[in-house]
């Protein structure tokens, strides 16, 4: 025997087949499905076999955890299939599309390396003679499967029509079995069963069990719907009862006072007319919803959020440029180029208060004072300062908010920060903008495009509020460590201001003017209790810190101050002279 065909026009199945192990499922004759192939032996099998014949044998593993199954780890009966398509995604991964042809049984193992090859037999199915009883069994299975396909929401609508059009019992059983929610071993048993009547009855047993579960689920859903309708009816009756009680002057629950307070707060917030109209619609819904209803508290929270937002509250700008220069010089040493650009920015705001200036992005290594520069700009203008850390944010809802249909929904971070700030025009620092992530929940960087566009952000719509809010009065200042981490469209909306690292001379001055006094204060030391030698400070900079900023420098100064504090606290001395020798003794060998 040199081969056998699976049917008219089908490829012939050779007497000797290359065997490709599969795990977690059983391939049936007639089934068409894609397979991902990543085992080296299986990839070599396909590379060697497909140039000769497109027909490959597929055997299911008994234990799907085994990476290199031996012949005894495979079932003896499988399906010969034709490879319809091969896609090479990478050197170590292929995707093939196969169509099952017919069953085969292992007669003899021919080779195990580099992959499994075997001589096979092609057993014939035992088909019962036509009778009314056999036709009734077939019809019963087809009707049950059709009903199951209609009840299950995860099954396409076309599946029921396909099942109704199958006229061959064996084909019906092999179409249904792969889609049953049963263990692999039971599917394998159906594949190995040659008696079509027994095969059909086994499939009927499993289909009937799944149909019973689906019918119970449908009944439960209908019960829930009826309960929901009953809840609506009760809500209507309660609203009627409330109206009657109001006419009689009875049954005061305090809800009316709460609605009145919310309305007063809304009027004090002075939101735009369309926002006020939306809030009024929600307040009217409170009149017909019982206070015990979960939706009641959702509406109250929503209206309270609208009432607490600074719709009309603006900080008055202090545009004294000399004062701004003084604050920048007070808080930061050198950085003359950066300070000059910030003063220019404030000068434009002074001459054109309604203009839309650029979004500034302070770019530089950690510890060079990017965040504190934003605080200084806010101090110079007399505005509130809001810092929003974007590092690690992956959910778009962090920017745009959650829809109110979700349990525990809330506004996005921008609206929440404005609510806390109590003013519509703070200085908002978008910290670490180069570390925004993205995943299946959306891309926060794309959501920021609208926020940072001066021509769009005057009508920013948070999903929770579902009404426009004007962000155009906010001064946005972003910070980043690496330009490569900022998405291109976002970078296009910002003006980069480069903050280079500090030189040794600049670090020395920063240490003397800012870091040393701060560490003395934090460690409880008075200036008269310690004298810092300039060479000691220079030694810390050169031998114990290797950074562009000054954070590590401050930590090392703090370590020396703690050593001084320990001596003073013990009472062994009232005065310490910090010399290079004292620094080496405290901090150890140079790094």
Region 309-322: mean pLDDT is 85
Phi first, then psi: give them for residue 62, nearest 5 degrees: -70, -40
Structural domains in the chain, CATH included, are: 4-121 (2.30.130.40), 255-308 (no CATH), 321-498 (3.40.50.300), 504-587 (1.10.8.60)
- The pLDDT value given to residue 590: 80
Beta-carbon contacts of 473 under 8 Å, excluding residues fewer than 6 positions away, are: 314, 424, 425
97 pLDDT exceeds 90? yes
Question: Which of 13, 17, 37, 14 lies closest to 86, judged by CA?
Answer: 37
Contact assessment for residue 583 and residue 539, using Cβ atoms and an 8 Å cutoff: yes
Give the whole-angstrom CA distance, residue 211 versus residue 199.
Answer: 18
8 pLDDT exceeds 60? no
Region 445-459: mean pLDDT is 83
Q: HSE-up of 32 (CA within 13 Å, CB side)?
A: 2
545 pLDDT exceeds 50? yes
Q: What is the pLDDT of residues 196-218, one digit of tens each?
A: 888 888 888 888 888 888 888 88
In the numeric block, which tokens belong to residue 92? 């170590």
Whether omega for the bond prior to residue 114 falls within 30 degrees of 0, making it cis, is: yes
Give the whole-angstrom CA distance, residue 264 versus residue 266.
Answer: 5
Q: What is the pLDDT of residues 238-292, one digit of tens each?
A: 677 777 766 766 555 567 778 888 888 888 888 888 989 888 888 888 877 777 7
Give the whole-angstrom CA distance, residue 302 versus residue 406.
Answer: 13
Give the whole-angstrom CA distance, residue 114 versus residue 111.
Answer: 8
Q: What is the pLDDT of residues 389-428, one digit of tens each?
A: 888 788 888 888 888 877 778 898 999 999 998 898 898 9
Contact assessment for residue 266 and residue 303, using Cβ atoms and an 8 Å cutoff: yes
Q: Is 203 helix (H, G, I), strand (E, B) or coil?
A: helix
- The pLDDT value given to residue 394: 81
Give the whole-angstrom CA distance, residue 122 versus residue 268.
Answer: 85
Q: What is the pLDDT of residues 13-69, one digit of tens each?
A: 898 999 999 988 899 998 889 999 988 889 889 989 899 999 999 999 988 888 888
């Amino acid at each position: 025997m040199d081969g056998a065909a699976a049917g008219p026009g089908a490829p012939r199945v050779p007497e000797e087949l290359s065997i490709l192990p599969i795990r977690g499922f059983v391939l049936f004759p007639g089934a068409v499905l894609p397979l991902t192939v990543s085992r080296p032996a299986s990839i070599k099998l396909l590379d060697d076999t497909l140039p000769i014949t497109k027909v490959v044998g597929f055997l299911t593993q008994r234990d799907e955890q085994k990476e290199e199954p031996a012949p005894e780890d495979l079932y003896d009966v499988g399906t010969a299939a034709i490879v319809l398509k091969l896609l090479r995604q990478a050197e170590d991964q292929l995707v093939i599309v196969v169509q099952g042809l017919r069953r085969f049984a292992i007669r003899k193992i021919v080779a195990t390396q580099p992959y499994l090859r075997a001589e096979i037999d092609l057993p014939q199915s035992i088909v019962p003679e036509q009778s009314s009883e056999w036709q009734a069994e077939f019809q019963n299975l087809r009707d049950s499967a059709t009903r199951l396909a209609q009840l299950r929401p995860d099954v396409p609508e076309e599946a029921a029509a396909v099942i109704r059009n199958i006229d061959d019992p064996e084909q019906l059983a092999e179409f249904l079995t792969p889609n049953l929610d049963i263990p692999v071993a039971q599917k394998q048993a159906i594949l190995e069963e040659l008696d079509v009547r027994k095969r059909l009855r086994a499939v009927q047993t499993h289909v009937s069990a799944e149909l019973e579960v689906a019918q119970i689920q449908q009944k439960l859903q209908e019960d829930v719907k009826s309960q929901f309708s009953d809840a609506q009816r009760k809500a209507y009756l309660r609203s009627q009862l409330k109206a009657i009680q109001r006419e009689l002057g009875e049954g005061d629950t305090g809800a009316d006072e709460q609605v009145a307070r919310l309305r007063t707060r809304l009027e004090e917030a002075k939101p735009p007319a369309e926002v006020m109209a939306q809030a009024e619609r929600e307040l009217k819904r409170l009149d017909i919803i019982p206070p015990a209803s979960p939706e009641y508290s959702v509406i109250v929270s929503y209206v309270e959020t609208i009432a607490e937002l600074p719709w009309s509250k603006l900080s008055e700008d202090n545009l004294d440029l000399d004062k701004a220069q003084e604050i920048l010089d007070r808080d930061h040493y050198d950085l003359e180029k950066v300070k000059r650009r910030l003063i220019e920015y404030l000068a434009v705001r002074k001459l054109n208060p309604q203009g839309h200036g650029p979004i500034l992005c302070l770019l530089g290594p950690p510890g060079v004072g990017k965040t504190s520069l934003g605080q200084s700009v806010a101090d110079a203008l007399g505005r509130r300062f809001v810092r929003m850390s974007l590092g690690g944010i992956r959910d778009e809802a962090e920017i745009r908010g959650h829809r109110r249909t979700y349990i525990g929904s809330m506004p996005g971070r921008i609206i929440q920060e404005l609510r806390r700030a109590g003013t519509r025009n703070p200085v908002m620092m978008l910290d670490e903008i180069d570390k925004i992530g993205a995943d299946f929940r959306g891309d926060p960087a794309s959501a920021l495009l609208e926020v940072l566009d001066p021509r769009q952000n005057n009508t920013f719509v948070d999903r929770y509020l579902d009404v426009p809010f004007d962000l155009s009065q906010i001064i946005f200042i972003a910070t980043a460590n690496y330009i490569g981490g900022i998405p291109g469209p976002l970078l296009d909306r910002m003006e980069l201001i480069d903050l280079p690292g500090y030189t040794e001379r600049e670090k020395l001055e920063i240490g003397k003017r800012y870091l040393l006094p701060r560490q003395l204060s934090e460690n409880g030391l008075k200036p008269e209790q310690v004298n810092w030698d300039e060479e000691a400070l220079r030694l810390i900079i050169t031998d114990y810190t290797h950074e562009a900023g000054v954070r590590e420098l401050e930590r090392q100064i703090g370590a020396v101050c703690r050593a001084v504090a320990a001596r003073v606290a013990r009472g062994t001395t009232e005065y310490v002279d910090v010399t290079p020798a004292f620094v080496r003794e405290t901090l150890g060998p140079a790094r």
